[in-house]
Structure 1
């Protein structure tokens, strides 16, 4: 009597940004561990997913476009790639479609697939920020998304309140990196020593570097002239090095550049304080126990739209997870060197502001806890439960 071979599963994934590509790669790795040779991957992804065996339909770098005006210029190409991806997904007839972040692209794909092949289950990995803006998206998503995987602990309740599809908190990938973000005893001694290490983080995209370098440099000059001593470290990635060097060349206070992910985490472990562009990095700093201030500048059109539509009291991710605005933030016109310098001095020194942040950050582990399973395992479990013909 011959043993029956396992059912071959086909999983179609779509990730169009570097962060989504990393999530997709981790998911693929766990799914292969669970299914072995009985799984096949197709879709769109980057280098990390390619290392796990995905042959992408096209290079995702084509879609690395920031800003409303830039997107408008590239819209015909973007829509053509949406159609190509949806066509490929329908033709592949997978057991599931997993769209990963980048909702302006991936949700267009999902809507087309649902209308043409309604039997294909669709999981959305990384909950769109319906709690921050365009809340009507939550209810609309019920028509084409079967399950949402949330990285932030407050998101399932937001989706329930707004009438969205089922949403499960699986945990943020930063939880798996806590050991690499927090200091050992020697690094803690450097964190507490003089001069304090000050991180400056102007952004992870070229447009962000362009908007922040000048005001960050002027702020640091003021802080130094007002008597604060510090060792300045600027973590960045290799593809941004030229822009960062060009922007920092005019700074009166020159930074040491920490290049790449490993050097960045090493800098976090010895940092005493940070001056950061608002975004995911603020949660990373908070988990590392580094008090900070946040600032954000953008083009006038982008900022007007964002501020008009925003429904949150903060854009600092650490504040949103904690449920209180412990990290000072300065947006657009408020992000002036004078205001930023005063706030930055407050987190470099031994102040009530600094102590308040440290106390709040100490609660993050409990707030973001996921139990014994890391996020990638929790994500894979829900994908497997949602497969056509589950259980596997």
Structure 2
């Protein structure tokens, strides 16, 4: 590390790598806090998207290059991906930053980190967003120890998992969703609508085209079955503008037509009035839990991926809300169980004052305490650890 930047008052250089939109947002918030803590005496380099660009990062390449869906597409573009990994690692080594922060996307960022550690072991490396070592491939935790100095976890149970699996030091810094609680929870008028008739049912088939393909038919048939059984409800389907065309094409085959809402703001407004939800497994289940919306969760994927996951997954639930509250309160219907005759009865059970609904609401009522970071935003907690790792690396001996 360059001695010229170690003394007081000298500009620090921080290299960040984020290759997905969610990581880009985390990186931008982290940059903002780091700039404040360092009094503006900081220089950022690396790879990021639009949010990080607003904070002053000039990305070494457009992260859209790595937005690859499907095994065949990955195989075709593998040479280009490997070239970007090599180029990024070389750029880190050439920059000699005070610290490297890799953000999520472990298939890319961890390969860069390994190369950097081999060629420039003096550069501290922080991993922001833990790989799911607690769910599958647990050996990754121990394998990370030689090239990651600290893991910043978004989920409160992850530090314990790293300790058990003999991985690098891991600290819970908080999930960015906890900063959006006020946007997810209803005011008095919205709460009144949440409890009014007909109840609002959210349908959330996924945020990727492959997920929409796998879930829309089963979800549509579930609504038809509920309606045929005399269950009254109003359906709202939140999605993003770039997926609207695909959603509308799938809806042509639905007998029960939902109201489509577009964008994050409209999605959160729908969460605030929702009485129940049918959701694809993923981060959205945690979002619903924070919003206090009882749910049924489902997930269906291709046969080959399902074959691999069944043999790899080591947790007793794949539902993030269940994992965070430490209790399997959300029913989950995976693969061949993701069909209307299974989904409809479970969903119907959420419309009334039932044991299932009460159990979920009780569990979701504990989630603020479980995910608390002591009123400090996740980006602040993350920045403090990044700065601590920088100081440790500069300490004599």
TM-score bucket of the superposed structures, by smaller chain: over 0.9
Which residue, out of 252, 255, 259, partners 1:256?
259
Spell out the pairing of 1:283-362 with structure 2 (5 A cutoff). Answer: 283-362=286-365
Say whether 1:190 aligns with 2:190. Answer: no
Spell out the pairing of 1:125-136 with structure 2 (5 A cutoff). Answer: 125-136=128-139
Question: Structure 2 CA distance, aligned partners of 1:336 and 1:83?
Answer: 44
Cα RMSD after superposing both structures: 1.4
Spell out the pairing of 1:212-231 with structure 2 (5 A cutoff). Answer: 212-231=215-234
Encode CA deviations 1:95-152: one digit per residue, 9 max, x unaligned.
1100001111110010011111111100000111111111001111011000000111
Encode CA deviations 1:247-290: one digit per residue, 9 max, x unaligned.
12221111111111111111100000000000000000001000
Displacement of 1:5: 7.5
Question: Structure 2 CA distance, aligned partners of 1:198 and 1:263?
Answer: 15
Say whether 1:73 aligns with 2:54. Answer: no
SS in 1 for 2:146: coil
Which residue, out of 49, 60, 75, partners 2:52?
49
TM-score (norm 2): 0.95
Which residue, out of 226, 236, 246, partners 1:233?
236
State the partner residue of 1:373. Answer: 376
Greater alpha carbon shift after TM alignment, 340-349 vs 178-187: 340-349
SS in 1 for 2:297: strand
Encode CA deviations 1:155-197: one digit per residue, 9 max, x unaligned.
1011001000000011111111111110000000000000101
Question: Structure 2 CA distance, aligned partners of 1:15 and 1:32?
Answer: 18
Displacement of 1:241: 1.5
State the partner residue of 1:26. Answer: 29
**What count of residue pairs does the alignment treat as equivalent?**
388
SS in 2 for 1:112: helix
Displacement of 1:6: 1.6
Say whether 1:389 aligns with 2:390. Answer: no
- Deviant stretches of 4+, over 6 Å: none
Displacement of 1:390: 6.4
Which residue, out of 204, 209, 225, partners 1:201?
204
Question: Structure 2 CA distance, aligned partners of 1:75 and 1:223?
Answer: 45
Name stretches of at least 5 consecutive residues in structure 1 with no aligned partner. Answer: none
CA contact (8 A) 1:68 1:302 kept: no
State the partner residue of 2:118. Answer: 115
Question: Structure 2 CA distance, aligned partners of 1:70 and 1:354?
Answer: 42
Greater alpha carbon shift after TM alignment, 18-27 vs 298-307: 298-307
Question: Structure 2 CA distance, aligned partners of 1:194 and 1:166?
Answer: 50
Question: Structure 2 CA distance, aligned partners of 1:175 and 1:187?
Answer: 20
SS in 1 for 2:223: helix
CA contact (8 A) 1:384 1:390 kept: no
Question: Structure 1 CA distance, aligned partners of 2:264 and 2:355?
Answer: 32
Which residue, out of 7, 10, 19, partners 1:7?
10
Encode CA deviations 1:9-66: one digit per residue, 9 max, x unaligned.
1111111111111100110111111123311111111111111111111111121123
SS in 2 for 1:348: coil
